Structure formats: structure tokens, C-alpha cells
Chain A
């Protein structure tokens, strides 16, 4: 299959359809509107369901319903809309429902602006909704990866019966890059997907079978039982932490004097700056978390080479990931941070200047 030049917003939608997603519910918001528009155009062509919901809240609850009947389902939005979805996300985590949520982040807080930002890290990784739960959070840094992670997100959601968030930003949504898609699921595979959750999901009783009574539910008024249920969730999360940590390393070596940590769009810009400085004979490495949860703590810890004098975190926010980096570094070397706010994407020149000042 040849490469297609596509916007990230469209590529993630196409990849989701290829991964067997046939239900999509969302509400328009910049800068993710190409995603909802792509779904509006393509879902009818593949016999899928597209609904432009009356609100983000309705959309996420439609997702709850569709996930409850055991089908692959997705919603997408940008930061303010993702805030509205938090109620439903918490309920889905509590009811252990698989679904994929795409956040094409923009500047905040509040209405903020519509430029690319990474200010929803805490919301995605540390909570967002109420209660003790975790989302699996995947952070792409190219259009290709945006598309690839869509397919992976559905697999992870199904495997762990947990909502998965793809945490992108306006730049990844709006930019075009060549993308090569995985082959679409065959009818056989689609049928298998449609039936994979029959042991727990809402589904008809087959004739002659023992009657089932499946409940999609996060309510449990008995504290003892609720504690057991939530503890079980955390056993599941421990499995995710054990199996699903993903990250990319760039230019890591024992000669590194600075170790950078950056995710998503920010990591791309940092790579450019590293390239410039490597050409000048400096040695700087980068760890890019691909899963923001589960977080690659060990990868960062083990990337601190003997000559590293500082770990430098670059984000398009006020330093939300720094806490995780500090946990990983655990006092071994100083951790510094620099970022841009308000939807401004730092340039390679900005990062280059910050890194040069370390030498």
C-alpha cells in the first residue's frame, strides 16, 4: 500500500475505521473538526454509525452505550470538549468499558485558544474525572504514529477493558505527512471483533442458551465490595504497567551530557535542536514517552548516562510531565524544565538556545 499525504485528524479517523471501529460519536471543535468531518463522510460508506451528538457529554455517553454492547467505538474532541467528557470517562473506567478517545489538544485553560498545546497531560494521565482510575494514554508525534496508535488503542482497550486516550495536539491534527495504513480488517476479523466481548457485554440471548444478566455498571453502594472492585482495577493497571510501557530513545549514548525528555509534538522540535547541536559536536540524548501512562520511568532512569549533568524537560505547558520525570530521575541529577504556554509551539531555535546554555 502506497503512502498518502494526509492530515493527522483524517489519518487517525481512517486508521480507526480500518481497525474495525464502526461507531463514532462526537461534537465539532477546532482543531479536531477534520476528524469528525472525515467520520461523517466515511462511516456511511462502511456501514458504520456516525452521530453528531448534541454535546460532548452526550457523545461520551453514546460511547458508553456502544462500548457496553461490546462494539469498537470512538469519540474525539479538543481540550475544552475533553473536559466535558470526563464524567463519562470516569464511568467507563469504573464499568470497565473499552473505547478510544482522541484529544487534539489546544491552548487553555477555559476556552483558551485553538493553537497546539500539551496542557491536558495532568488531566489525561493523573485523573481528569473523579475517583481512582487510570486511562491508558498514548502520545503520537507524527501523523504516521497518530494513525498507528489508533489501531493499537483499540487493541489495548479491548485487551484491558479500559478506555484509551490518544493525546495529540493541534499541530498533529492539522499537519499533513505521508502515512501508510495497515490493511483494513477483513470481514472475518470484523465478525470476531463484534463477538469478542459476548461474555460480559449487553447482547441478545441466543436461543436455547442459559439466560444471562449482564450489567454495565459502576455503582456499588457497599464500601467493602466497592473497595474490592477498585482494587481489582488496580491489579489490572499493574498488568498494564508491566506490559505496555512504550517510548522512543534518540541519540542516547554514554557521551550524553544532557538528557532531554519530551513527548508528542514537543519531542519533534527537540529532535531538530539535538540534530543541530550534534552537528556542532555536542552529545545530547532524548527519551520520548509514547505511553504517558503507563509512564516509562525505568527507561528514563536507565538513560541517564555517566556524563549527564542535567535532565531537561521540554513541554508545551507549564511543566506537567516534570513530576513524572523527577520520579524517574529520583534525585540522581538535576531536572530542569522549559516550556511555552498559550498554544505557542517552541521552535528548534528556542530549544537549541536553551540547550546551548547548558554547555
Chain B
């Protein structure tokens, strides 16, 4: 199976990290992965996006034409990438920054007030981990434990408090994502 994903948002919202952690985890679980960021001036405060592919087989193109999963953290990203999502795919979007929402009816929409939830957990910077949680809660793309290991190796020494908040955010995300697994 191959899952193609686009994560997009404002520079600084951590979209590249969403893709990176998922790719890293996929690799640790023995899958083929690719991670292709947008780069250049648009990264300096503009919109950023990353295409991530996780597959059991070899990955041909790392460029994603029809994503199975879109994570849109703001309205411009939702407007740009929403129409590209494969029929039957999933669009996870941040209702705090997507006031107009998305009008597709042939995909599964997962609207989440991500800023509100991140702030409740205690920091807006865990927003990207919340998104990872939603993705894996919904799709089972990678295991929670793999992401946890990744995060621990990254943060345990440097910032244990932030690690804790990040793990909370992922767990919360998984909870949300799971609510959508039975719905079609």
C-alpha cells in the first residue's frame, strides 16, 4: 500500500516537521518513504508545504498529484490543495485558520480547532504533533510507539517538558482521528 500526503500551512506552523516525523517513523517500520519540501523564499514567512509518501513498495515519484491525505493548517493551503485530494481521501484541516472550510463531499473531512486544542495543552508549538496524532489515529499509517521513540530521542534530554506536551498532543490527536475511523 502507498499513502501519499501533503501537509501545508504558514511557514513556522511546523508542517515540514509533520512530514518528517511520519517519514522517519515509516522508515523505522521498514517502509519506503520520501519527503519533499517546498523551499526557497516562500519558506521565509510564506506558505510551506511538504509531500510525504510512505509505501510498502518502491516509491516512483515523490511528487504528489492526488494526495490520499491532506493536512491544511490554514485556508490558503486548504484552497490550494483541497481540490487535489483523491476521491475517498481525507482532508484534515485547522478550523481556527480555515474560516471558509472545504466544500468537497467526495472525501472525508476532519475539521479540528487545532490552535484551541494546542493552546489547551499548553503551547501552540505542539500543533504539528496534534496533526500527526490525527493522521495516525485516522489512518494507522505508523504506530504511536514509533513516533514516541523518535520524539524521545529528539527531546528527552533537551526539553523533557516539551516532550511531555508533544506526547499529550499526539495522544489527543489519535483520540480525535479514531472518532473518524468508523464514519465514512
Which residues on A are within 8 Å of B, measured CB to CB? 3, 5, 30-31, 113-115, 170-171, 174-178, 268-269, 271-272, 274-275, 345, 347-350
Counted as pairs of residues, one from A and one from B, with CB atoms less than 8 Å apart, the total is: 63
Binds A, one of B26-34, B73-81, B112-120, B173-181: B26-34
- Give complex CA distance A3, B36 in Å: 18
Contacts of B121 in A (CB 8 A): none
B35 within 8 A of A: yes
Binds A, one of B62-70, B88-96, B127-135: B62-70
**CB of A109 to closest CB in B, whole Å:** 18
With A3-B27, A177-B59 already in contact, 6 other A-B pairs whose C-beta atoms are closer than 8 Å? A5-B24, A31-B40, A176-B20, A178-B33, A274-B60, A348-B65
**CB of A172 to closest CB in B, whole Å:** 9
* Contact digits for B1-38, partner A, Cβ 8 Å, 1 yes 0 no: 00000000000000000001001100100001111110
- Give complex CA distance A347, B53 in Å: 14
Contacts of B59 in A (CB 8 A): 177
Contacts of B40 in A (CB 8 A): 30-31, 113-115
Which residues on B are within 8 Å of A, measured CB to CB? 20, 23-24, 27, 32-37, 39-40, 59-63, 65-66
Does B33 lie within 8 Å of A5, measured CB to CB? yes
Contacts of B37 in A (CB 8 A): 174-175
- Give complex CA distance A345, B62 in Å: 11
Contact flag A175-B62 (CB < 8 Å), given A3-B27, A115-B40, A170-B39: yes
Does B35 lie within 8 Å of A177, measured CB to CB? yes
- Give complex CA distance A3, B40 in Å: 27
**CB of A93 to closest CB in B, whole Å:** 32
Interchain Cβ contacts under 8 Å between A and B, 24 examples? A3-B27, A5-B35, A30-B39, A30-B40, A31-B39, A31-B40, A114-B39, A115-B40, A171-B63, A175-B36, A176-B20, A177-B59, A178-B32, A268-B61, A268-B62, A269-B63, A271-B61, A347-B61, A347-B63, A348-B60, A348-B63, A348-B65, A349-B65, A349-B66
Contacts of A274 in B (CB 8 A): 60
Does A272 lie within 8 Å of B61, measured CB to CB? yes
Does A5 lie within 8 Å of B23, measured CB to CB? yes
Task: Give the residue name and chain of the A residue nearest to B34 (CB).
Answer: A177
Contacts of A345 in B (CB 8 A): 63
Task: Give the residue name and chain of the A residue nearest to B64 (CB).
Answer: A347
